[in-house]
Amino acid sequence: MIVSPFRPRTTLLAAGILAPLAYFLLYHLRPAWHNDGFDFHRLDYHDLADYPYPAADASTKVHLVVASTQEDDIDWVWNLRVPNMQVIRYVSDNASAHYHPPVAKGREALMYFRYISEFYDALPDISIFIHAHERPWHMDPALHQSMTFALSRLDLQQVKRRGYYNLRTNWQNACPDWINTTKTAAESVKQEEPWVKGAFQATFGDGVEVPEILAGPCCSQFAVTREAIRSRPREQYERAERWLVATGWTDYIVGRVWEHLWPYLFMGKSVDCALEYRSFCRFYGVCFEGPERLAEYNDVWDKREQWRESTEFLREVWRPARAGLARAVMAKYTLWLEDTLAAAVERGKSMSLREQAWEDTTQWIPR
Ligand SMILES: *[C@@H]1O[C@H](CO)[C@@H](O)[C@H](O)[C@H]1NC(C)=O
Ligand SMILES: *[C@@H]1O[C@H](CO)[C@@H](O)[C@H](O)[C@H]1NC(C)=O
């Protein structure tokens, strides 16, 4: 019998390299590859994106004012089915864009003011001011963290009734008393806090008393009526715009500061803190049984997000068993979240329930 001189090397090669490689491909890379980008949703997203309120809204005209940069993809806005809504896109970094701010700075605030100055005499019933992203981190889990979901379900008649409504409802780092304008930089641990007073005075004039406390949900996305905008003269907005153009403050600070000034600008209220679960019910038709249910929902959402990291591609390649477990747990949470949200949407079909919820969404804590 002739023994091939190559055989031991081949065997060695197979055992030493090919077998682990095959194992790696089959049990590490393949599942990670297969699962990459996979997400489990049972809810029919499109059903939830329908505008669910009466056709009376057909007479309500809306502008969706999008503050964007050139590279932002805003294609998602074309899927919205809000009646009579026109999209007005501002592009901060392209002076040739149809709508653009006077200079490329000041974050969304400068684009919002430019819009108001440009459209002051031709405003629709409601202007909704937003950023370009469909799934911003700051959109509430109870709104599926989705702008499509939020905008589709925003009840325009209630916005008309209230005048100004911040799209995010969460009180975190916001309500009921987040910004204290009397604090100095040395006293404050919040970056923008010591800057708010100066911005307030520059915007509203030295003669206006600066409220001690300013509070309201964050992140500068809101709906506002023509009447609320016109409660201040055009000059007020032009002045704010001029200040933003002239200021040497960083865009970051300007953006952060303005998050706290919108309620005062449009309603003359320094504190705008609607109860969250009531607010979801009244404005989005998402009616949880009570605050505890909403808290539970948010808690499960957070737990699910904590598992998500393990399912990232490279982590899954590294630890496929862990990723498999994470997927199973996330799938379980997702079912619970979607069932709970669907039940809240179902409850929200009750007009009397939503009418009851109005009460605590009009409350402002006076200071
Ligand atoms: C700026 O906007 C104009 C008009 O919409 C467009 O033709 C042009 O390509 C844009 N510039 C860049 C750099 O994208
Ligand atoms: C605001 O800050 C000042 C200075 O630290 C403090 O004296 C005051 O009590 C604070 N106001 C409120 C309402 O917390």
The model's pLDDT over 98-113, given as tens digits with 9 standing for 90+, comes to 999 999 987 899 999 9
CA of 310 to the centre of ligand 2 (A): 43
Say whether both 57 and 89 belong to one domain.
Answer: yes
Is 143 contained in some domain? yes
pTM for the model: 0.89
Nearest CA to ligand 2 atom 4: 183
Q: Kindly tell me the burial class for residue 158, based on how many C-beta atoms sit within 10 Å of its own C-beta (0-12, 13-18, 19 or more).
A: buried
CA of 93 to the centre of ligand 1 (A): 10
Structural domains in the chain (count): 2
d(CA 114, CA 112): 5
Domain end call among 252, 278, 304 = 278
Is 57 contained in some domain? yes
Mean pLDDT for the stretch of residues 83-98: 96
Beta bridge partners of 67: 90, 131
Instruction: Report the SS3 class of residue 357.
Output: helix
Say whether both 191 and 297 belong to one domain.
Answer: no
Is 189 contained in some domain? yes
Query: Any idea which ligand is nearest the CA of 104?
Result: 1
Is 210 contained in some domain? yes
In this structure, the residues whose C-beta lies within 6 A of any atom of ligand 1 are 70, 94, 96-97
Say whether both 242 and 308 belong to one domain.
Answer: no
Is the backbone of residue 223 left (phi > 0), alpha (psi -120 to 50) or beta? Answer: beta
Structural domain that includes position 185: 45-278
Is 193 contained in some domain? yes
Say whether both 185 and 290 belong to one domain.
Answer: no
CA of 210 to the centre of ligand 2 (A): 13
d(CA 192, CA 180): 10
d(CA 155, CA 281): 10
Q: What is the DSSP letter of 142?
A: G
Is 23 contained in some domain? no
- Please say if the pLDDT value at position 366 is more than 50: no
Among 125, 126, 130, residue whose Cα is nearest residue 146:
130
Report residue 320's pLDDT band, with 50, 70 and 90 as the boundaries.
confident
CA of 239 to the centre of ligand 2 (A): 29
Say whether both 137 and 214 belong to one domain.
Answer: yes
Say whether both 237 and 328 belong to one domain.
Answer: no
Say whether both 167 and 139 belong to one domain.
Answer: yes
Is 348 contained in some domain? yes
Q: Give the range among 22-36, 129-143, 240-254 with minimum mean pLDDT.
A: 22-36
The model's pLDDT over 214-268, given as tens digits with 9 standing for 90+, comes to 999 999 999 999 999 999 999 999 999 999 999 999 999 998 999 999 999 999 9
Domain end call among 253, 278, 303 = 278
Mean pLDDT for the stretch of residues 52-66: 84
Query: Any idea which ligand is nearest the CA of 185?
Result: 2
Residue 105 host element (H or E): none
Say whether both 290 and 247 belong to one domain.
Answer: no
Say whether both 206 and 227 belong to one domain.
Answer: yes
Residue 54: what pLDDT? 75
CA of 95 to the centre of ligand 1 (A): 8
Is 12 contained in some domain? no
d(CA 223, CA 159): 7
Q: Which atom of ligand 2 is nearest to the CA of 213?
A: 13
Say whether both 52 and 136 belong to one domain.
Answer: yes
The model's pLDDT over 8-23, given as tens digits with 9 standing for 90+, comes to 777 777 778 888 888 8
Residue 105: what pLDDT? 85
Domain end call among 245, 278, 311 = 278
In this structure, the residues whose C-beta lies within 6 A of any atom of ligand 2 are 180, 182-183, 187, 212-213
More confident residue, 219 or 37: 219
Say whether both 176 and 311 belong to one domain.
Answer: no
Say whether both 199 and 292 belong to one domain.
Answer: no
CA 164 distance to own-chain centroid = 17
Give backbone dihedrals phi and psi of 314, rounded to 5 degrees, phi first.
Answer: -70, -35
Query: Any idea which ligand is nearest the CA of 179?
Result: 2
d(CA 342, CA 336): 10
